[in-house]
Amino acid sequence: MYTSLQIAEAIKASLSNELRHKQYQNSENPLTGHCYVASEAFYHLVRTSGDHSCIVDFRQMRWEDESHWYCVAVDLKTFEKTVWDITASQFKTTPDYRRGRVVSFLTVWPSQRAQIVIARALNILEHSRTSSEYSYVNRLTTTE
C-alpha cells in the first residue's frame, strides 16, 4: 500500500516524451502533454494500490488556452479535498482548480499510455520506499 504522494511522485518520474501526443512531443517543458495520462494513472493506482482512505475523481478545465486534466481526492474521514495535479508546473500560472468539472475517462480501463505509466510507477514504488528521489508534485488541500 502506498500513499497518494508516493504514487504521484512515481507517476511523475515515469513520464517520457514518447507517451505524449504528437503536438506535444519535444515540448520544452517535459510535463506538457502528460496531464491526461498522469491523472488517469493516478486515479487507477490510488484505487488499486493506495491506502483507500480517500475517493478520487477526475477533473478537466481550460487553462492557458489548453485542456487540462487533474484529480481531486476526498478524505473519507475529514471530507477534506486535495487537488492532485502532477503536471501543474507546465503552466506559467497556477491553475484555478475551482474552474474544473468532474468528467469521465475516455476509456473504462486504463488506456495503453496509462498502462505503461502504471507499470513504470509500480516498478519505482516497489524498488524504492523513499520519496526523496522524486521531484515536487503540485498538491493543494481545501475544505470547501
Contact between 38 and 16 under an 8 Å Cβ cutoff? The reply is no
pLDDT digits (tens, 9 = 90+) for 59-89: 999 999 999 999 999 999 999 999 999 999 9
* Residue 65 zone, left/alpha/beta (φ > 0; ψ -120 to 50; rest): left
- Count how many domains the chain has: 1
Range of the domain at 92: 4-142
The pLDDT value given to residue 135:
45
CB atoms under 10 Å from CB of 5, counted, come to: 14
Q: How many DSSP H helices and E strands does the chain contain?
A: 3, 5
What's the mean pLDDT when you consider all of the chain?
88
pTM equals: 0.86
Give exposure, 74-109, as e/b (b: 16+ Cβ within 10 Å): eeeeeeebbbbbbbbbbbeeebebeebeeeebeeee
